[in-house]
Amino acid sequence: MQAIRWAQQMRNYLIIMRREFYYMWQDRVLRYVLIIGPVLAILFFSYLYSFQNVTDIPSAVVDLDHSAQSRELIRQLSNAENLKIENYPETYKELESLIDQGIAAVGIVIPENYGQDIMSGKQTRILGIIDGSNMIYATNASSTLIQVTGMISAETGIKTMVGMGMNLQEATEAYQAIEFKEEAWYNPTLNYAYFLILALALNMWQQCCVMAAAVNIIGETGVKSWPQVKASGFSKWKFFLPKSLMHLIIFMALVLPIYYIGFVLVKLPLCCSFGSLMGFTLVFALAIHSMGTMMSSLTNNAVDSTRFGMIVALPSFILCGYTWPLESMPAVISKAAWILPQTWFFQGFNHMTFKGAEFHAMKGYYLGLLIITVVCYAVSMMATARSER
Amino acid sequence: MDAIETNPMIRVEDLQQVISRQVVLDRINLTVERGECLGIFGTRGSGKTSLLHILAGIDRFYSGSVEVMGCKLPRQQEFKKKMGLLTQKQSLFRDLRTGENIDFIAGLKGAAKQDMEEVVEEYELQDYLKEPVSRLDAGVYQRVSLACAMLNRPELLILDEAIKDIDIYSRCLIVNKLTEFKGQGGTLLCGFSNIEFCPQMDRVGWLEDRKMSLMSPTQVQEKWERLVSDAGHKMGTANA
């Protein structure tokens, strides 16, 4: 008898899950948004960041000196990977015009007497103008200019010391008393693609998931068929359990092609095991589902619920500290950002994929997501029970 | 489950319902015996649907006491296993086809495959199983709704405007099935606003000004004729 009842219960759950699957599948817009959206996003972003680094920043050089030394400087600047010297204006005014028009993002002005000053061991100044309206260009151009001029400055200094009678070894050691060795760990080539592609695609995925979950409860209780469920005597908790389970299955199925394209086809770094990454993603899927479900239990109609979902899901990627560090945000916002499951996920995701963080290092992230899940589901249950009164 | 076997089928005492701070039902008292067909009559907005939804355990109520098959509402809901409901508004799942609706609601009600096959045959729905319910004619839609209500072989059937504005064939089929249901000892609670259905009832509760008066079908018809006649006179006086 117990077995029959259990089998009946399972059948009921499967019927509800099947209906939920067809519901999502039959809705053409939802189907395209959920399936095609995130996959297109990762394909598009992979292509977009296929050069992996910012190279060939359009640059212009004004050489007011026309000496052998200034030509050497231009040669060294031309060799820098990030800069592409395309224009050689004659005057500062011409350079200004090129930057104003957006033809050049970087301008370098070599002063008159540059070669003479170098030869006589006098200090000389090179002006570097960077178009700050593009932050990415500006940061990369700035570090390249510092690197190239630093190198020339060191060479010149050493040459001067040798000229003063010091041997080359001594001059080099004296000039470079402190050797600064820079090592970028986890992403040694500071590859933009590694850093951004998956995060952008996962951001799109999580937005789609929040939207779908945002109609979980109101999509049933707010429509005319709800009396059928209530009159059947079927527990609403048992009704929403298999429905939510199907959502989670769909969410996880949708993330698989993103991970496949990212880690297998585009070969993005994955330093942890795929199983543990999927486990962490599942906990995040649970958390965003609970958040969407909570919204769907607190609003009066599906449209409002979806709007709330969008209001939270869209800026959450900016707030999560992935693209702009949490430490650089105002204290109130950086603390409030931890209310969002996206913050726990994207921070933890970074640790896992780049650093291969083990479970003991990830415990906090799992716990954060699980607490959000419990709170959101509890609020959903209370709100739904209350609305039924 | 013992509670379900006790008599009467429905007992309502001093029921009050308030919606948006407005009293919709005021001190309703009612008893429905097993095997009885009780009609709830009233014009639009008189509170028929509110009362039927309370008795079906769908809506909560403001005050009073309601017992259905011995279950005290709203806490005890076991009676729903032996209840069927046909709502006034179309309440089948719009995203599902006819057959899928029957299958899905059977799952919710714990009905067996055999019950599904039987209702499909009884309500002559074989040709409509693959049709989306949103495309069904009103009459066929009501047949599907009633078939779904009957899936769990209920003892109590609550119907809200079951045969209003539908084709003659569906109407005859539904009336026939309801007569059969009553003949087998089933209890019917029918909300209606068309006086011509009155003779089908054993007793009628007339809902007016938030209160209910219980009458025989003949008394209801007499009262209705009197009201129509009064209205005619009033119009005549007004025209003169």
CA-based nearest residue to A106, from A126, A132, A81, A125 = A132
Chain segment A27-44, per-residue pLDDT in tens: 788 788 888 888 888 888
pLDDT at residue A284 tops 90: yes
For chain B, helix, strand, coil in percent to 5 are 40, 25, 30
Closest to B175 (Cα-Cα) out of B126, B111, B123: B123
Do the chains contact at A228 and B92, CB–CB below 8 Å?
yes
pLDDT in tens, A188-215: 766 777 778 899 999 999 999 999 999 9
Query: Among the listed ranges A110-119, A255-264, B100-109, which one has the minimum average pLDDT value?
Result: A110-119
- The pLDDT, as a whole number, for residue A375 is 98
Please say whether the beta carbons of A86 and A60 come within 8 A.
yes
CATH number at B2-239: 3.40.50.300
Would you say residue B153 has pLDDT above 80?
yes
The CA distance from A326 to A338, in Å, is 10
Task: Express each pLDDT in A140-176 by its tens digit.
Answer: 888 888 888 888 788 878 877 887 788 888 888 777 6
* B positions 37-56 inside 8 Å of A (CB): 53, 56
Average pLDDT on A88-93 reads 93
Q: What's the confidence (pLDDT) of residue A177?
A: 65
Q: What are the tens digits of pLDDT across the range A73-87?
A: 899 888 887 788 999
If pLDDT is split at 50, 70 and 90, which confidence band does A328 have?
confident
Name residues whose C-beta falls within 8 Å of residue B168's C-beta, 6 or more positions apart in sequence.
Answer: none
**Which residues lie closer than 8 Å to A171 by C-beta, 6 or more apart?**
A157, A158, A161, A162
In this complex, is the C-beta atom of A228 within 8 Å of any C-beta atom belonging to chain B? yes
In this complex, is the C-beta atom of A239 within 8 Å of any C-beta atom belonging to chain B? yes
Query: By CA distance, what is A10's nearest residue in B?
Result: B107
Best probe of the B interface among A225, A384, A387, by most B CBs < 10 A, is A225
pLDDT at B3 over 60: no
pLDDT tens, residue by residue, B5-31: 557 899 999 999 999 889 999 999 999
Which domains, and CATH codes, for chain A? 2-50+191-387 (no CATH), 57-175 (3.40.1710.10)
* B17, B61, B79, B95: best to mutate for the A interface, most A CBs within 10 A: B95
pLDDT band at A120 (very low <50, low <70, confident <90, very high): confident
The nearest alpha carbon in chain B to A9 belongs to: B110
Q: Which residues of A touch B80 (CB under 8 A)?
A: 231-233
Residues of B within 8 A of A227 (CB-CB) are 53, 56, 58, 85, 87, 91
CB < 8 Å to B91, chain A? 224-228
Q: Which residues of B touch A226 (CB under 8 A)?
A: 91
Q: Where are any strands of DSSP class E within chain B?
A: 10-19, 22-32, 37-41, 63-68, 71-73, 83-86, 156-160, 187-192, 203-208, 211-215
For residue A312 the two structure tokens come to 């939270």
Tell me whether B62 touches chain A (CB under 8 Å): no
DSSP element (H, E) containing A62: strand A57-63
Lookup: tokens for B102: 């029957």
pLDDT of residue B52: 95
- The residue ranges of every structural domain in chain B are 2-239
Answer whether B12 touches A (CB < 8 Å): no
For chains A and B, what is the number of CB pairs under 8 angstroms? 75
Residue A366 structure tokens: 């799992």
Spell out which residues of chain A touch residue B84, defining contact as CB-CB under 8 Å: 231
Query: Cβ–Cβ of A22/B96 closer than 8 Å?
Result: yes
Within 8 A of A219 by CB-CB distance, chain B residues are none
A322 has a pLDDT exceeding 90: no
Closest CA to A243 of A206, A207, A218: A218
* Highest averaged pLDDT of the listed ranges A23-27, A204-208, A366-370, B70-74: A366-370
Give this complex's ipTM.
Answer: 0.88
What value does the mean pLDDT of chain A take?
A: 88
- pLDDT, position B1: 46
The answer to whether A225 contacts B91, with C-beta atoms less than 8 Å apart, is yes
B chain contacts of residue A232, beta-carbon cutoff 8 Å: 80, 105, 108-109, 152
pLDDT at B239: 60
Q: What letter would DSSP give residue A164?
A: T
List of chain B residues whose C-beta atoms are within 8 Å of the C-beta of residue A389: 60
pLDDT confidence tier of residue A52, bands split at 50, 70 and 90: low
**What count of other Cβ atoms lies within 10 Å of the Cβ of residue A191?**
17
The first and second tokens of residue A25, run together, are 């599948």
Going by their DSSP bridges, the two strands B203-208 and B10-19 should be labelled as unpaired
Residues A61/A83, Cβ–Cβ less than 8 Å:
no
Judged by a CB distance cut-off of 8 A, whether residue B113 touches chain A is no
| Predicted pLDDT at A179 | 66
